[in-house]
Amino acid sequence: MKRSVYLQPSAIFWDRSVPRAIDEADVPEWKGLPLAGSRLSFAALDVLTRASPVTKRRTVVLGDAFSGDWGRDALSAADILQELSQPRGRVAGLSLDRPRIMGIVNVTPDSFSDGGQFATTEAAIAQGLRLVEEGADILDIGGESTRPGSDAVPLDEELRRVIPVVEGLRAKTDAVISVDTRKSEVMRQAAAAGADILNDVSAFTYDPEALEVAAETGLPICIMHALGDPKTMNDNPKYDDVVLDVFDYLESRIQACVAAGIPKAKLIADPGIGFGKHLHHNVAVMAGLALYHGLGVPILLGASRKKMIGQLCNVDAAKDRVPGSLACAIAGAAAGVQIIRVHDVAETKQAIEVWRACQAGTEKGLD
């Protein structure tokens, strides 16, 4: 079901004042609301409504938003506004009061960026430990490439690639371990091996048993938007409005997860940069990142080294897209994204720490 109104926080700033409650009365000077309970606040809203041929957009300051007449959209707008401001709980023990870095460990021969580089168990474990040393809060272990045009990997092969790496890392680090898979049996065995998060690019739609297994594990899960199967998803993707269509899809999958017995507090949403999206779709989603806080769950951004960067900057080799990846990471942090999935952990950590200090105007109290 498509919503009639969507709210995207704008005029986002680092709030150095005492946070204000959404229902606080008699505020003499309105300074904004906290964005998902973070140090960022927002002072205005872009109000989006579906229309043909283009979505209608108007900007209102928060004071006008509270005093304005929303008509039949009042309840929907109030619900989204509450979600935009509500603090996010911990995920796998991690607080989300600052951007968390998810380091990518591809145990595959064919990933678009580093295929084959960490394809052995020993190399993947060493890479994971290296990323933790560089500052990764989460390690995302994947045994099946889902790049555009990729082929599915048989279950036995994916298990052979992934489970020994999860077991090896669990024995050597307390870092949060995520497993990037579409298959319920991989989810089940990964959870038993010590994984902390399940991350499914199909939003738990590829495997009919995936949602049930995810609920049984009790682990937090990440649902991602993708249009179709990796083999064909980028052939001819079409949207009415990509930013709003992605929101609707993720909202529907959140509802499906809750109905399957997974608490909303254990959900993470990823708008899926590059998955069933051409360049103009990807940059539109990047510009609309703050809107997805209206889902009421933490947001994960995975734009590291992706084709979008190469298209924008004429850079063919994925390994040469690190500067563009850092720009995406900072854009995500500025939009309040809670988890940033990257190949280049040390560089991303440095960029985000400098950005946070520059926003805060102090180097203190940012750990």
How far is C-alpha 349 from the geometric centre of its chain's CA atoms?
A: 17
| Token pair belonging to 142 | 């994947």
- Residue whose pair of structure tokens reads 């499906």 in the numeric block: 256
Tens-digit pLDDT string for the chain (367 aa): 678 899 999 999 998 775 555 555 554 455 789 999 999 999 999 999 998 888 999 999 988 887 777 877 888 888 899 999 999 999 999 999 899 999 999 998 755 555 557 668 999 999 999 999 999 999 999 999 876 766 788 999 999 999 999 999 999 999 999 999 999 999 999 999 999 999 999 999 999 999 999 999 999 999 999 987 777 777 889 999 999 999 999 999 999 999 999 999 999 999 999 999 999 999 999 999 999 999 999 999 999 999 999 999 999 999 999 999 999 999 999 999 999 999 999 999 999 999 999 998 888 777 6
Establish whether the linkage from the previous residue to 99 is cis, with ω within 30° of 0. no
In this structure, which amino acid lies at residue 98? R
Segments of 15-165 assigned E as strands: 33-34, 40-49, 56-61, 100-106, 138-142
The per-residue pLDDT for 171 is 97
Residue-wise pLDDT for 292-302, tens only, equals 999 999 999 99
Upper half-sphere CA count for residue 164 (Cβ side, 13 Å): 13
CA dihedral 243, 245, 246, 247 (to 10 degrees): 90
Q: What's the predicted TM-score (pTM) here?
A: 0.93
Q: Which residues are tagged catalytic?
A: 306, 341
Alpha helices in 260-321 (DSSP H): 279-287, 307-313
pLDDT for position 145: 80
What sign does the dihedral 227-228-234-236 (CA atoms) show? negative
Q: What is the pLDDT of residue 17?
A: 72
CA distance 247 to 161: 33
Q: What is the DSSP letter of 94?
A: B
